[in-house]
Amino acid sequence: MNSDRTLALSVLDLVPVRTGQTSAQAVVATLEVAATADKLGYRRYWFAEHHNMPAVASTTPPVLAAAVAARTEQIRVGSGGVMLPNHSTLIVAEQFAALAAIAPGRIDLGLGRAPGSDPVISQLLHQSGTAPGAETFPQQVREITALLDPAGAGVRLRGGEGYAVRSTPVAVAGEIPQVWLLGSSDFSAKLAAELGLPYVFANHFGGPGLSDALATYRDTYQPSEAFPKPRTILTVNASVAPTAEEAAERMLPQRRTMARLRTGLPMTAQETVEEAQATPLPGPAESYATKSGSTDPDRLKEVVDTPDNALEQLTAFAGRYEVDEVMIAPVAGAYDGEPIDRAPGAEQTVRLLGEALG
């Protein structure tokens, strides 16, 4: 995006899978959304990591990032994020070093510590042992940043001698991935500040602690060579359409998916708008779906409106918390009969917001 713009926009994609759609069709649809974001000057396009969810095809961020990097020209691509407890630090570093070789200067590595799954899947991800606990996460992040550095990481062997480890044979400083820390608590904010890393607050989850986390991050920030000043992103769910009524209708399937997740109902593929309108959820879930649609101007979990109004809300939100950019999750759903290999609501949201920004 041009530096004179007052708001920088990025995209967080979970690759939603709706009724009647295959994973392959959902990925094809995502590539179209990413191409739209690239043409309109969005800054980043990140993929989340979730496992064994019928409505989500974003299980492997580096693979999806590679596909988008190959089909775009300027947008940065990466993860939002790789759930580090699920992976070897060396493997993650190697994957993203390879991505940086494919798209130099365009790769971001967002790191989180949530499992992105249920306990059964977590166990399957760690068949050789137990998953690392939260207490090991800071060391894992340090290992990642060292492995991605051109100098590599030093390992001390039992005999006392050093052993050099690199994620790629020859890395170039200006082309290596940017490492971002993701979170929604003081823990992640303090760690990002201590390590001199940029910070993403997962605001789209709607949890508390936004103001405190940002204040902690900024007040305790330790400048690093890569990031002399603190940098911040806030995430927001988004459904944008020509009319507010359409935007609200397209948001309904996402609200119901989250209601199912939060109240323990069986998960399904994301409904179409008509399916979501046809049958109320059981009491607690329906109440959650309705409540999740509320918008607090001080905690903008979601924006559901026309392009100009949505942009105004996002700009005010970014200004209120003095963040560098807003990352939208374009979760707008589809109507019956819309192309199965496209994500019309998401594509429309990205296009209309980008055009409104100019």
288 pLDDT higher than 90: no
The pLDDT tens digits for 297-331 are: 667 899 999 999 999 999 999 999 999 999 999 99
Output the pLDDT for position 4: 41
Listed ranges 109-123, 159-173, 292-306; the one with the highest mean pLDDT: 159-173
> Count of residues for the chain?
358
pLDDT at 3: 38
pLDDT at 280 over 50: yes
- pLDDT attached to residue 120: 77
Q: Which structure tokens are listed for 337?
A: 């009969």
Q: Quick one: three-class SS letters along 70-110?
A: HHCCCCEEEEEEEEHHHCCHHHHHHHHHHHHHHCCCCEEEE
pLDDT above 80 (res 143): yes
> CA–CA separation, 280 vs 66, rounded Å?
39
Q: What is the mean pLDDT of residues 106-127?
A: 80
- pLDDT at residue 241 in the model: 99
The predicted pLDDT at position 104 comes to: 97
Q: What is the mean pLDDT of residues 331-344?
A: 98
pLDDT on residue 292: 64
Work out the percent of the chain whose per-residue pLDDT is above 70: 93
Average pLDDT of the chain is 92
pLDDT at 128 over 70: no
Express each pLDDT in 74-92 by its tens digit. 999 999 999 998 999 999 9
Q: What percent of the chain has pLDDT over 90?
A: 80
Spatial separation of the C-alpha atoms in residues 60 and 50, rounded to whole Å: 8
pLDDT digits (tens, 9 = 90+) for 92-101: 999 999 999 9
Q: What are the C-alpha distances in Å from 50 to residues 15, 35, 57, 65?
A: 10, 23, 8, 15
- Give the model's pLDDT for residue 289: 86
pLDDT value of residue 131: 60
pLDDT at position 295, please? 53
pTM above 0.85, yes or no: yes
What is d(CA 52, CA 117) in angstroms, rounded to the nearest whole number?
Answer: 7
39: left (phi over 0), alpha (psi -120 to 50) or beta: alpha
| pLDDT for the residue 2 | 36
pLDDT of 130 over the 50 cut: yes
Residue 268: name the closest of 38, 64, 27, 21 by CA: 21
Q: Taking 60 as the threshold, does the pLDDT of residue 345 lie above it?
A: yes
pLDDT in tens, 43-62: 999 999 999 999 999 999 99
pLDDT digits (tens, 9 = 90+) for 194-249: 999 999 999 998 778 899 999 999 999 999 999 999 999 999 999 999 999 999 99
Domains defined for the chain, CATH in brackets: 9-153+165-357 (3.20.20.30)
